[in-house]
Amino acid sequence: MDVRADVVVVGAGVIGLSTALRAQRAGARVAVVTAVPPQLTTSAVAAAVWYPTRVEAGGEVADWGAATYAELVRQAADGVPGVALRPTRMMAHQDTPGRPWWAEAVPDLRPLERAELAPGCVSGWAFTAPTVEMPLYLAWMLDRFRRRGGRLVTRRLDSLAQVAGAAPVVVNASGLGARRLCGDGALYPVRGQLVLVRNPGLRTSLRIQDDPAGYTYVHPRSRDVVLGGTFDEGSWDTAADPETARAIIARCTALAPRLRDAEVVGHLVGLRPVRRGGVRLERDEATLPGSALVHNYGHGGAGVTLSWGCADAAVELIG
């Protein structure tokens, strides 16, 4: 493949595009190779609220999350399309002693008062969370990438060997596709189903981690509200299930009664790239003759949350 680049990034979701932008900032000529355009990736259907969902706790993950939080705060202040800061309440039916492991990233974290808790909840935290409307954000990322001279190549790869030698460095940011492209059997899908309703004026994101009826969250955006959700491990089904949608609406309406008459405007399903052993972010000198390979995939439900921190780390590995 003749792409005339210093770095080829495989994958055009939020991980791939953030890595490509960071590599450009470091002075590299970058091409992105993707099976589908950014608006058709899993990232495009993400609820995209900063929170380290279904990833290993602490260590580098905490650092990546903190770096991304800071970057999204800067982007919100700069008016980047789709990025906003919203008050958030995270609640639980069981007591959760001690501060969360990600607490250092969030400067205004505080325990919720009893009067702030939803019925049945006994503990929780209030904080400000960056939220991202992904269709707007991915379009901004792609435009910025192209304005810096980046090239987007739409081509479905059967293996990473097809880009061997295309550039001195290849970054594998293929998400769930890495299961096929580099034979990583530790990757598996965790299906998430969402319902979109018109926003009746909600500003605060709400989340109940341990709702017995199912994972429950209400994430307002500029024009709609994202209601969720599901964590269906091992499911490859991308069709929205009507009964699941009704259950999501019922849970979210109980949590936020103002949603009771909100018009349903869409149903989304995405497959989170969860990996046993956690995020794979490492340099691989052996797999691709003619190119150094940097892996950056397996972010589970926290792609947006870890994106810029992992992009910075990936560029350091590029050298």
pLDDT given for residue 282 in this prediction:
97
- Look up residue 4 and give its amino acid: R
CA angle centred on 167, ends 161 and 169, rounded to 5°: 85
* CB-count burial class (<10 Å; 0-12, 13-18, 19+) for 234: exposed
pLDDT given for residue 24 in this prediction:
98
Give CA–CA dist 285/277, Å, rounded: 20
Answer yes or no: are the C-beta atoms of 98 and 106 closer than 8 Å.
Answer: no
pLDDT given for residue 96 in this prediction:
79
User: For 21-33, what is each residue's pLDDT tens digit?
Assistant: 999 999 999 999 9
Query: What sections of 175-273 are H helices per DSSP?
Result: 178-181, 242-255
pLDDT given for residue 289 in this prediction:
86
pLDDT given for residue 58 in this prediction:
74
pLDDT given for residue 31 in this prediction:
98
pLDDT given for residue 55 in this prediction:
78
pLDDT given for residue 309 in this prediction:
98
- Length, in residues, of the chain: 319
Residue from 33, 21, 45 nearest 301 by CA: 45
Which domains are present in the chain? 7-318 (3.30.9.10)
Q: Which residues pair with 8 in a beta bridge?
A: 31, 170
pLDDT given for residue 127 in this prediction:
98
User: For 215-241, what is each residue's pLDDT tens digit?
Assistant: 999 999 999 999 999 999 999 999 999
* CB-count burial class (<10 Å; 0-12, 13-18, 19+) for 314: buried
- 3-class SS of residue 152: strand
Strands (E), the chain: 7-10, 30-34, 83-92, 110-111, 123-132, 151-154, 169-172, 187-198, 205-208, 216-220, 224-228, 232-233, 264-275, 280-284, 292-297
Question: For the chain, how far is it from start to end, CA to CA, in angstroms?
Answer: 23
pLDDT given for residue 57 in this prediction:
79
The predicted model scores a pTM of 0.96
Query: What sections of the chain are H helices per DSSP?
Result: 14-25, 59-78, 134-147, 178-181, 242-255, 303-318
Give CA–CA dist 90/194, Å, rounded: 18
Which ranges of the chain have pLDDT less than 70?
none
